[in-house]
Structure 1
Amino acid sequence: MTETLRQLAALLRARDELDAQIAALTRRSARIGDIGEFIAAQVFDIKLADTATQAGHDGAFRSGPLAGATVNVKTYGDAFAGIDISPHPCDFYLILSGPARPPGAVRHHRWRIGAAYLLDSRRLLDSLTARRVKIGVATSIRRGDLDVAQVFPTAGADAPIRLTPEQTALLSLFA
């Protein structure tokens, strides 16, 4: 048992060093949400809020068809487990998600972006309210809600934007 704890301590020190390098590169913490916001800002040309504790949204699109629209970026290992919906308004939710996790024992899941979804918050809230879904932390989302809003790796039928080949290539770095 003592050797296991020594190994764990050494691995955590190594992870801390990597997290410090990530934080130095992104100028944000190495938490999954902050990394996701950094990636989204680079890929989708989002001006992030000056503080990571901005209520309601993380920033606004600077260019393209959504220029000026506010966006709340969410990063999940699996968006199908539910998303956090803030009581503060924003125009869009941009969700970066890993692949759906298989049921079973807890094990390591490589961090990656398997899909990106861009949901119009007003349309989403109207749909959830009509279905009488409790809105807040871990709000239950139907696969259909995400499928129509998917922008990566392929675009859903009602996706609010289509990614450029460069945007697709950038997100593919994390796939």
Structure 2
Amino acid sequence: MDNLSWLASLIKSRNTIDGKIADLIGRSAQINHVGEYIAASIFNIAFEEEGKRRGYDGRFLQGPLAGRTVDVQWRLRHDGLLNIRLDAYPDYYLILTGLENTSSTLANPWSIAFAFLFNAQELLNALKERGVQIGSGTSVTGPLWERAEIYPIPRNTRFVLSDEERKMLFLFNQ
């Protein structure tokens, strides 16, 4: 019974925190909604109204990608997987991930250890060349991830983060 009481207390605390997050971001406290809020704040992305967009979340407002569409995904673990729709895809995928799946823990902390920017057309071409099944949970090889990395190591020179953007991402690193 003690464990059940403790669990009930923890769930109440979580519900309180989720409510505060939802109030802050103006949407439910789901991982992708929070990720979109973080991305909009750091990368200056304007998100379009749900239901009015197809295959993307919003557009970059400034910099070298201004006006380009982007799909933002926040994955709790850097597990090599992406969700890709073939019927409608963005110009870019911005992927935020936690650490690689090397831990034996059952917990999946909400953290951002890496950020990646994929050109969607180039990514799709590379996946098709390899004969990869494309859809929800598409497996992307390590070299593609490495070339797309913008944080913490700026390997992708198409989008170089400012010191301020790097500091903001670091706030979410576990």
TM-score under structure 1 length normalisation: 0.93
Give distance in 2, aligned partners of 1:108 and 1:89.
Answer: 31
Question: 1:162 Cα deviation (Å)?
Answer: 0.4
The answer to whether residue 78 in structure 2 is matched with residue 79 in structure 1 is yes
Q: CA offsets, 1:79-120, max 9 Å, x none?
A: 32411112212100000000102164x422432100000000
Give distance in 2, aligned partners of 1:73 and 1:132.
Answer: 24
- Residue 89 of structure 1 corresponds to which residue in structure 2? 89
Residues 153 and 7 of structure 1, relative CA distance in 2, 3 Å threshold: same
Give distance in 2, aligned partners of 1:144 and 1:78.
Answer: 17
Give distance in 2, aligned partners of 1:82 and 1:112.
Answer: 17
Residues 161 and 81 of structure 1, relative CA distance in 2, 3 Å threshold: closer
Residues 63 and 27 of structure 1, relative CA distance in 2, 3 Å threshold: same
Superposed, 1:137-152 pairs within 5 Å as 137-152=136-151
- Residue 163 of structure 2 corresponds to which residue in structure 1? 165
Instruction: Give the partner amino acid of 1:108.
Output: A
Q: CA offsets, 1:29-73, max 9 Å, x none?
A: 111111100000011100011127843001000111000000000
- Residue 116 of structure 1 corresponds to which residue in structure 2? 115
Question: 1:22 Cα deviation (Å)?
Answer: 0.5
Over the matched positions of the two proteins, sequence identity in percent amounts to 34
Checking the alignment, whether the CA contact within 8 Å between 2:80 and 2:141 is kept in structure 1 is no
Checking the alignment, whether the CA contact within 8 Å between 2:150 and 2:160 is kept in structure 1 is yes
Gaps of 5+ in 2: none
- Residue 99 of structure 1 corresponds to which residue in structure 2? 99
The answer to whether residue 13 in structure 2 is matched with residue 22 in structure 1 is no
Instruction: Give the partner amino acid of 1:165.
Output: D
TM-score under structure 2 length normalisation: 0.93
Count of residue pairs brought into register by the alignment: 172
Gaps of 5+ in 1: none
Give distance in 1, aligned partners of 2:103 and 2:151.
Answer: 24
Superposed, 1:9-88 pairs within 5 Å as 9-51=8-50, 54-87=53-86, 88=88
